[in-house]
Amino acid sequence: MGTVLLPYAPASVGVARQRLAADLIAAGIFAGAVGDAVLVVSELLSNAIRHARPLPGASVQVAWALDDDAVEVAVSDGGALTRPILTQATVSALGGRGLSIVEYLARTWGVRSDDAGLTVWAVLAAPPAPLRATASPVVPQAPVVPQAPAVPQAPVVPQAPAVPQAADGGSRRNSASRSDGAGRRNGGPNW
C-alpha cells in the first residue's frame, strides 16, 4: 500500500508517521488501530536510526501493506553488528522499551535480513472504522399555525429609587454622620 524512502535522520520519523496515518485513515481503518500502527513505526524507525547503518544513499525505508483486518509495517536499514532483540528495561533506564511496545501492540513481529540490510516488521490489527450516519432521519413536524401580530407596547422607563425620609425630615442615608450638637457624630466612633 505504501513505501517511502526517507533520509537517515530523526526528522524522518515524523514524516513516516504522517504518511502512514494518512494512508490508513483514507483506507477507513479504525482510529485506535491507526494510532497503534503509527506508534510501532515510530519505535522501529527510531531504533533503525539510532542503532543501525543507513541503506545506500543515507536512507531508510518504511513500508506498509493492508491485508483484510491487518496491517504489516516494516522498516529496512543497512543493518548493524547485532540483531534487534526484545529486552527487559530496568525501571530507571532511559531507553530500551521500544521493542516491548512493539511486542505489546503487534500480533506478531520479527526480523529478516537480506543483502541490502535488515528489516524489522510487525503485523497489527487493522479493523475498519465504525460507519458514521451520513443523513439524519426525517422527523415530521407539527404544522405552523399563524399568529396575530404582536401589539407594540410603550417602553418602560426606569425611575430613580426614592430615598426614605427620617421622621425629622432629614435623609436616613446620612443619619449616622449627623452631629449631636457637641461635635460628636451620632452612631459613629468618637475621634
Residue ranges of domains in the chain? 2-125
Q: The whole model's pTM is what?
A: 0.66
Query: Which contacts (CB < 8 Å, 24+ apart) does range 157-166 have?
Result: none
Pick from 122, 121, 57, 47: which is nearest to 80 by CA?
A: 47
Q: What does the pLDDT read at residue 161? A: 61
Nearest to 41 by CA among 8, 73, 2: 73
Please report, rounded to a whole number, the percentage of residues in the chain having pLDDT higher than 70.
65
Residue 6 has pLDDT above 80, yes or no: yes
From the list 113, 140, 139, 108, the residue with the least C-alpha distance to 124 is: 108
What is the reported pLDDT for 11?
96
Render pLDDT for 35-82 as a digit per residue (tens, 0 to 9): 999 999 999 999 999 999 999 999 999 999 999 899 999 999 999 988
Q: How far is CA 179 from CA 27, 176, 191, in A?
A: 89, 9, 13
Say which CATH class 2-125 falls into: alpha beta
Q: How many CB atoms sit inside 10 A of residue 53's CB?
A: 16
**Using one digit for the tens of pLDDT, what is the confidence trace for 168-182?**
555 444 444 444 555
CA distance 85 to 60: 19
- Mean of pLDDT over the chain: 80
Would the pLDDT of 115 be above 60? yes
